[in-house]
Structure formats: structure tokens, C-alpha cells
Amino acid sequence: MDKKPKKKPPFGLILLFGTLLFGLVIGLGILSRRENTLKRIDISTPTANSGSSKITPIQPYVPSDLENIKIDKETFRAKLRSCYKKKDEFEEMTWYYDQSSPKFTNANAIECYIGKDATKVFLRFRVQYLSDDWLFIDNAIFNIDGVNFDYIPGKVERDNGGGDIWEWFDEPGEGQALLILSKLANARSAKVKFNGHQYYNIRQISSRQRQAIKHVLQVYKGFLLHYDK
């Protein structure tokens, strides 16, 4: 007996089924990619409703050389009040000095002072040498508790009058300058040797000068820690 030939499905039905299957595969792929994308976003970007949106504030930067300069909020406020303060209205800058800081250049001094405006605070390192004869300072060596620290200033200014001469430099209180200042602040004894073109001069750095340096460094560190806010 002959078998009846099987009827083939209509071509249109096959086309419709294939289209639906293809669409289903594409749709699943899109959903999978979207799900992965959403997961990546949730992990990398905390939202207000995620329960992990609290971001740790950036800590203030304090140079490591100030590690041994101790200051707290209450002490900072007292130290700040005792500073000699001078305001530059044209530059909108306020300068902070220790009360012992000389008001004129023709005086001996080894000190630091602070400049502060609405957006920044910075430290300056100033050395003044007064004598009756020129030294023409090239560099200085600070002997602090028996350890030597070299310092080469970028520029030394000079002037004279009334039979006296004075030489000085005023530079950023960072790097080697900040290291020397921080060592002086806690030193038991210190002196400095000024090397000139032909001669040199050695001078003691008094305890009063060292205390003044420490005072200013404490205020500077307090500013860096935002204790004035």
C-alpha cells in the first residue's frame, strides 16, 4: 500500500515562527546586557537609596615634617589670638607673626610667618643678618642638637645705612626650609653658620627664637587642620 505523502507546513508559518524565535533571542540578549550594566552602575556609584552613599571626606594635608608639632583646637585658638596680625587690604591677605618678630629688616632674625587668604594658607621662612661689615651670604648651615642641615637660599637681599649692613632672605617654608624650622621648634640647642664669599659668621639661635618658630608652626598646622572653622 502506498503511503500518503506528509504535508509540508506552509512557508508563511515557518517564516513567522522563525521571526518570533529570532526576536526572542535578541530580546533576551538585550535584557542580559542591560542587567549587567545596571549591576556595574550599582557597584561603582552609590545612590541615595543604596544605603552606602556616605562618602568619607578628604582629610586635610599636613606635611610629615609637622608630625612633632602638637596642637589641638583649644590651644590653636589661644595661639592664634596671641599672634601679631597684619592685613594687606590690596592683596586680601592676612599675615600672622609671633609677637617677637622684628618689624624692620635691619635686625637679626630667624623666623617663620604665615600668609592666609580666602582660599589658601602658606608658610614663609625668613632669615635676617645684621652687622657692621658685609658678609655676602652664599648659604647657611644650621647645627641643631649636633646635627647639620644645609640651606642654600634662592636669593639674598642686601642693604645698608647708619654704619650698619643687613642681608636677608625670605622664601617658601617648604622642603628643606620646613624641615629646619620643625627641628628648630623642638631643639634643645641650635646655632647657624653664615658662609659668605670670603668669610663666615656663627651665631646662636636663642630659646626665644625657637619658641617663636614653634608658636607659628602650631598656628600653621592648626590652619591646615581647619581648626579655624
Q: Helix 207-224 to helix 176-185 angle, to the nearest 10 degrees?
A: 120
The fold of the 64-224 domain, in CATH, is Immunoglobulin-like (2.60.40)
Closest CA relative to residue 181, chosen from 93, 92, 110, 100: 110
> pLDDT tens digits for 59-99?
689 999 999 999 999 999 999 999 999 999 898 999 999 99
Is the model more confident about 2 or about 222? 222
> pLDDT tens digits for 119-137?
999 999 999 999 999 999 9
- 18-27, 37-46, 94-103, 147-156: least confident range: 37-46
What are the sequence ranges of the domains in the chain? 12-46, 64-224
Query: Under DSSP, is residue 166 helix (H, G, I), strand (E, B) or coil?
Result: strand
Rounded to two decimals, the pTM is 0.75
Task: Please check whether residue 183 is in contact with residue 149, taking contact to mean a CB–CB distance below 8 angstroms.
Answer: yes
> Which contiguous run of DSSP H or E holds residue 17?
helix 11-44
CA distance 222 to 229: 10
